[in-house]
Amino acid sequence: MRTYVIAFVAALIATSAMADELVIKLRQDAGVDKVEANCEACHTLAYIAMNSPFLNAAAWDAEVTKMIKAMGAPINDADAKVIKDYLTKNYGG
């Protein structure tokens, strides 16, 4: 019985934690599909809006390059360019 109570309480906590999670909607523009497909695979899209006041074109370029080279994001060169262009145009502080 104790196991069921613990499992029930854990499920309630997990459900309430997920209910409070913000839904991030990126600006709709060319390339948003590449950003959502590639970036959201590893982290929340909230990082984009959160960092946008501080990142210009060079910084977004460096950030995407870091994700690919240092973090191992499997993004091809063509998609990386689209992502960099999208971020710079829509979130380039």
- 11-58 tens-digit pLDDT: 656 554 555 567 889 999 999 999 999 999 999 999 999 999 999 999
| H helices present in the chain, as ranges | 2-19, 32-39, 46-51, 57-69, 77-91
Question: 3-state DSSP call for residue 23?
Answer: coil
The amino acid sitting at 16 is: S
| Token pair belonging to 88 | 């710079």
Q: What is the pLDDT of residue 11?
A: 61
Distance CA 48, CA 40 (A): 10
Domains of the chain from N-terminus onward? 23-91 (1.10.760.10)
Calculate Rg over the CA atoms of the chain. 18
The model's pLDDT over 69-84, given as tens digits with 9 standing for 90+, comes to 999 999 999 999 999 9
